Amino acid sequence: MLWHQLSERVLQGKQISREEALQVLAVPQEELLELIAACYRVRRHYHGQKIKLNMLINAKSGLCAEDCSYCSQSIVSKTGVERYPLQSREVLLEGARQALEVKAHTYCIVISGRRPTERELKAVTEAVREIKEKFPLRICCCLGLLNDEEVKRLRDAGVDRINHNLNTSEDRYGDVCSTHTFQDRTETIEAVKRGGISSCSGGIVGMGESDEQIVDLVFSLRDMDIDSIPVNFLIPIPGTPLAGIEYLTPQKCLAILCLFRLVNPSKEIRIAGGREFHLRSLQPLGLYVADSIFIGDYLTTRGEVPEADMQMLQDTGFVPSLPPGWEAKSREQELPPEQPVSLASATESRDR
Ligand code: SF4
């Protein structure tokens, strides 16, 4: 396969075929760098050297009656994960302040559970209103299944984006979860789109799916015209039903990222959970394909220390994409200037 010809066609607005997608996933090791370089052309065309940093807060942990087999917060998992109800408004605001400090573009408020209760929705919308007044952050909420009315309430509160992952291909969904369906998930995403909020939806790879099923997932996300696509690599957390499933290699993870980029060339492709665990020393190569990462910890697993991620960005020459108004707010709060990236500010953010 001539990877640069493929990326040239993508840049001309043509879609890659299923057969080509499968070839991307099966890239021979000696051609991987050439494939990454081809994807970097696409990434650079749409996103330049900018990288979006996203910071998560696990605003409600555990206590979930669903049976998603990859999730440490599920009722079927025996993980001893911390359990707590929705965090207070003060904690949500402090998370936003820390997100600003580490140059996060988007602050992601995530709660466990099938769907938010009325009390949770009200508390989140109130906190979001306050965060939007105080900080120039984009807000993404991941609250589970949502209907049109709930999406509208989140939009009216100032939420910019809603995340609801497809996670895996339609034909495999029943193997990883029995308490809700793939269709439940697509219906929530449709509600998000009807509500005029930016959509965020991605997947988890490394759960035993075939390459064909990865292609199905990537094409589903393309067909739904998702704005922001997080690519998670399964962390087989002990105590979850998928514990012990560990076969991804760093090279395979990079090939998967390349596929997401070539199928969704202009979209935000985020290296999400499992970045450190699976890409290991090849993490910097992922930045030449993806244009977005999480900074700090994930929901129930530790991420890289922000200091190390900032160093990686500095070394590779990628620059955090700051939300409009960041500079004025950073002066107000006496945060360090945009350039160069401050390691000190990143280190402090760890104390949460
Ligand atoms: S992924 Fe969400 S819905 Fe599924 S078990 Fe975990 S917290 Fe519950």
Q: What is the pLDDT of residue 297?
A: 80
Residue 340 preceded by cis peptide, ω within 30: yes
Question: Which residue out of 63, 69, 74 has the highest number of ligand 1 atoms within 8 Å of its CB and is therefore the one to mutate?
Answer: 74
Give domain limits for the chain.
3-348
Is residue 328 over pLDDT 80? Answer: no
Q: Atom 5 (ligand 1): residue with closest C-alpha?
A: 74
Residue by residue, DSSP assigns 271-304 as E-TTIIIIIGGGHHHHHTT-SEEE-S--SSS---
Residue 108 DSSP code: E
- Rounded CA-CA distance 43/50 in Å is 10
Does residue 180 have its Cβ closer than 6 Å to ligand 1?
A: no
Alpha carbon 330 to its chain centroid, in Å, reads: 25
Does residue 66 have its Cβ closer than 6 Å to ligand 1?
A: yes
Segments of the chain assigned E as strands: 50-60, 106-111, 138-142, 161-163, 198-200, 203-205, 228-233, 268-271, 292-294, 319-320
User: By the 8 A CB rule, do 162 and 116 touch?
Assistant: no
Instruction: Give this prediction's pTM.
Output: 0.92
pLDDT tens digits along 181-232: 999 999 999 999 999 999 999 999 999 999 999 999 999 999 999 999 999 9
Is residue 349 over pLDDT 60? Answer: no
pLDDT tens digits along 9-25: 999 999 999 999 999 99
Does residue 300 have its Cβ closer than 6 Å to ligand 1?
A: no
What would the two tokens of residue 105 be?
A: 């573009």
Largest CA distance in the chain: 55
∠ CA 245-251-252, nearest 5°, is: 50
For residue 177, the ligand 1 atom closest to its alpha carbon is: 4
What would the two tokens of residue 21 be?
A: 């997608």
On the 0-12 / 13-18 / 19+ scale of CB atoms within 10 A, 72 is buried
Q: What is the pLDDT of residue 17?
A: 98
Closest CA to 42 of 244, 262, 199, 189: 262
- Residue whose entry in the numeric block shows the structure tokens 């399964």: 234
Share of the chain above pLDDT 70, in %: 94
Give the distance (Å) from ligand 1 centre to CA of residue 114. 6
Amino acid symbol at 102: V
What does each C-alpha distance from 242 to 205, 209, 276 come to in angstroms?
A: 12, 12, 19
How many Cα atoms occupy the beta-carbon half-sphere of 60 within 13 Å? 22
Q: What is the pLDDT of residue 299?
A: 78
What would the two tokens of residue 82 be?
A: 């911390």
Work out the average pLDDT over 36-40. Answer: 98
- Rounded CA-CA distance 81/302 in Å is 12
Residues 6+ apart with CB under 8 A from 323: 105, 106, 136, 137, 138
Does residue 68 have its Cβ closer than 6 Å to ligand 1?
A: yes
Fold adopted by 3-348: TIM Barrel (3.20.20)
- Rounded CA-CA distance 175/68 in Å is 9
